[in-house]
């Protein structure tokens, strides 16, 4: 892992399986460093489809035994307002891909609880979860060892969408979102202050349909896309993309493998 901070790194893999392998190897290295440094590894999971292969590979026989699961704490960057067993649930996706396959203590799994009360109360409950685990005082932000983020074709990340009020939230750690063109429209998301307080952020982008958003995110001027507003002053941002997603980038960008 690079020692420089707030520097953006790009790793381009020839295909999705190779991307997953690169991501898992770096998560494993980060987890070992974090556990050695402060006794645990806190990871904020991304939802959507792209990270599924990463989670499955982490729990595969090839890697499962290398992780110190009892010292790893799993949180979610966002959750759809559906039941935990709904096919659209990010919790269900991660549970099926990794949490039920690896020997992870239940107390290490910190889901965003849905359908109890309102979106706003659920957001407040998750803020309390973060405050408790990270022992936060008023106004403090959690510092995740690693935050995994996906990239939407519109440049959204987590459930922070272009123009959404949650994107400009600077006080709350967790916000309620309603984006009618998304399915489902209602979501809970961590806010930019949480994301930009991370030690390390891994963005994952796979497929040609992400090529324009990735080009704008990495080469565009300004900060119009939510993904462009991810810029941790005391952290590192690594982009992991496969060649189709990276196909519009200026040649020579990133380390290819
Ligand atoms: C979600 C994610 C969201 C996702 C992007 C990319 O809950 O859907 O948090 O930000 O990462 O929409 O999704 P894909 O990986 O499915 O393309």
42 lines ligand 1 (CB under 6 A): no
Give the nearest ligand 1 atom to 46 CA: 9
Cβ of 155 closer than 6 Å to ligand 1, yes or no, is: no
Which alpha helices (DSSP H) does 74-203 contain, by range?
Answer: 90-94, 119-134, 192-195
Give tens-digit pLDDT for 213-255.
999 999 999 888 999 999 999 999 999 999 999 999 998 777 7
Any residues with CB less than 8 A from the CB of 66 and at least 6 apart, and which? 28
Q: Which residues pair with 160 in a beta bridge?
A: 157
Looking at residue 157, what DSSP letter applies? B
Strand 78-80 with 186-190, pairing: antiparallel
pLDDT of residue 256: 72
pTM of the entire predicted model: 0.96
Go through the domains of the chain in sequence order and give each one's CATH number.
4-256 (3.40.50.1360)
Q: Which of 46, 54, 226 to mutate to test the pocket of ligand 1 (most atoms within 8 A of CB)?
A: 46
Confidence of residue 257 (pLDDT cuts 50, 70, 90): low
Residue 202 has pLDDT above 60, yes or no: yes
Token pair 């990133």 is found at 254
Q: What is the three-state SS of 195-245?
A: HCCCCEEEEEECCHHHHHHHHHHHHCCCCCCHHHHCCCCCCEEEEEEEHHH
**Region at 155 (left for phi over 0; alpha for psi -120 to 50; beta for the rest):** left
Question: 46 in ligand 1 pocket by Cβ < 6 Å?
Answer: yes
Residue 179 Cβ < 6 Å to ligand 1 = no
Closest atom of ligand 1 to 90 CA is 7
3-58 pLDDT per residue, tens: 333 467 999 999 999 999 999 999 999 999 999 999 999 999 999 999 999 999 99
**Regarding predicted confidence, which is higher, 256 or 60?**
60
């Amino acid at each position: 892992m690079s020692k420089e901070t707030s520097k953006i790194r790009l790793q381009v893999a020839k295909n999705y399986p190779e991307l997953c392998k690169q991501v898992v190897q770096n998560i494993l290295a980060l987890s070992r460093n974090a556990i050695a440094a402060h006794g645990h590894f806190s990871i904020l999971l991304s939802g959507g489809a792209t990270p599924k292969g990463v989670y499955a590979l982490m729990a595969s026989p090839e890697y499962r035994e290398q992780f110190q699961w009892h010292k790893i704490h799993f949180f979610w960057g966002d959750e759809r307002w559906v039941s935990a067993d709904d096919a659209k649930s990010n919790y269900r996706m991660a549970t099926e891909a990794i949490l039920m396959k690896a020997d992870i203590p239940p107390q290490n799994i910190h889901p965003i609880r849905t359908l109890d009360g309102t979106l706003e109360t659920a957001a407040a409950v998750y803020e309390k979860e973060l405050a408790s685990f990270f022992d936060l005082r008023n106004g403090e932000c959690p510092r995740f060892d690693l935050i995994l983020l996906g990239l939407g074709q519109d440049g959204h990340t987590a459930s922070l969408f272009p123009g959404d009020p949650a994107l400009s939230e600077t006080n709350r750690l967790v916000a309620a979102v309603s984006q009618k063109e998304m399915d489902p429209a209602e979501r809970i998301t961590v806010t930019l202050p949480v994301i930009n307080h991370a030690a390390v952020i891994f963005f994952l982008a796979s497929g040609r349909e992400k090529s324009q958003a990735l080009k704008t995110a990495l080469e565009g001027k300004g900060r119009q896309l939510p993904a462009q507003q991810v810029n941790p002053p005391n952290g590192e941002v690594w982009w992991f993309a496969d060649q189709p997603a990276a196909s519009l980038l200026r040649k020579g960008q990133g380390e290819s493998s």
